[in-house]
Amino acid sequence: MKQVAIIFSGCGVFDGAEIHESVLTMLHLESHGITYKCFAPNIDQHHVINHLTGEEQAQKRNVLTEAARIARGDIQDLALLNPDEFAALVIPGGFGVAKNLSDFAFKGAESQVLETVKTACQKFNTQQKPIAYLCIAPALIGHIHKPGTLATIGTDPDTAAALTALGAEHVNCEVSDIVVDEQQKVISTPAYMLASSISEASSGIEKAIARLNTFIS
């Protein structure tokens, strides 16, 4: 079975899923002959950001509805995700991971993860199925995997320290590379935590998906 689940956290780097990372994930999965299904939690976003001005907007948006923009409508409520039906899981980054899937953006080492996200990831882990965490998504690793699981968000010392405090073992990593915990089958790459262009983000994501493919082939 070569079908992978993807969890999106909205639509847009500042308040949802990072669109470039999300599209690159789907592209690189497809290039390896891997099919995928998209999921997102059916909840309100923490807030809404005007991506032109960077200002917060006085409105509400739904994470699932917004993520449907990226998935071209082919997406389901995260509550319906059954890990038994998938070989692996990928979580692209974007501030939505740290604002909607968790509160890492606000509480760092004291953060919590949305229960539906935590449950889904833990089920994949219990079944020894690989999970790829992109960009800021490795902030979830300490909540889900055993203490000492290898992870990377790149080279930012403050964010790395928060990951370490949550129980992961941070490894500095360049944008074009990946960090793999072989025992936990956890893959991470910095993507836009370091990338200055879509091609730079693509380089690490491509390696992450290629490594994911070796786990499920």
Q: Which residues are catalytic?
A: 135
Beta strand 48-49 pairing with 56-57: antiparallel
To 10 degrees, what angle do helices 198-216 and 19-31 make?
40
Which amino acid is residue 76, in one-letter code? Q
Provide Rg for the chain, Cα atoms: 15
Q: Is 64:77 a contact under the CB 8 Å cutoff?
A: yes
SS3 label, residue 65:
helix
Number of residues assigned to the chain: 217
Q: Is 19:103 a contact under the CB 8 Å cutoff?
A: no
Q: Can you say whether the dihedral through the CA atoms of 46, 14, 49, 65 is positive or negative? A: negative
